[in-house]
Amino acid sequence: MSLPHFTTWLAFIKGRRLAASVYRMSATFPREEKYSLTDQIRRSSRSVCANLAESFAKRRYPKHFIAKLTDAAGENYETMAWLAFALDHGYIRQADFEQYVTACSEVGKLLSYMQNHPDKFR
């Protein structure tokens, strides 16, 4: 069985790759962060792709499609905020932080493109 069409969207591919990387990276966080920072950064990074999946189901209704893309963008920004906290607490290095923020920015640009051109994703 093949996966639905949304899995071929570049925003989904890059978002999924980013979420997997965030998951691996956050495994190194201290144990006391398990129910706060670790869970939050994993949830927000995965929610980007989850919202893209939901947008696919709503693609026949442009306003609903764009609303779900906006949710995905919000989760992407939330991931950046959690990355900043991880940096502040010394859980990741500055160079790693910059790489993750760059990856988030790439996903964000793709989401913005989708929001501005919804007809290309029907």
Average pLDDT over residues 71-86: 98
List the chain domain ranges. 34-121
Question: What are the structure tokens assigned to 119, written together?
Answer: 């007809």
Average pLDDT over residues 13-25: 98
- Count of residues in the chain: 122
CA-CA distances (angstroms) from residue 92 to 7, 26, 99? 29, 9, 11
Query: What confidence score (pLDDT) does residue 87 get?
Result: 98
Average pLDDT over residues 80-99: 98
CATH class of 34-121: mainly alpha
Coil vs helix vs strand at 4:
coil
DSSP code of residue 36: I
Render pLDDT for 21-56 as a digit per residue (tens, 0 to 9). 999 999 999 999 999 999 999 999 999 999 999 999
Task: Record the pTM.
Answer: 0.94
Q: 38 and 26 in contact (C-beta within 8 Å)? A: yes
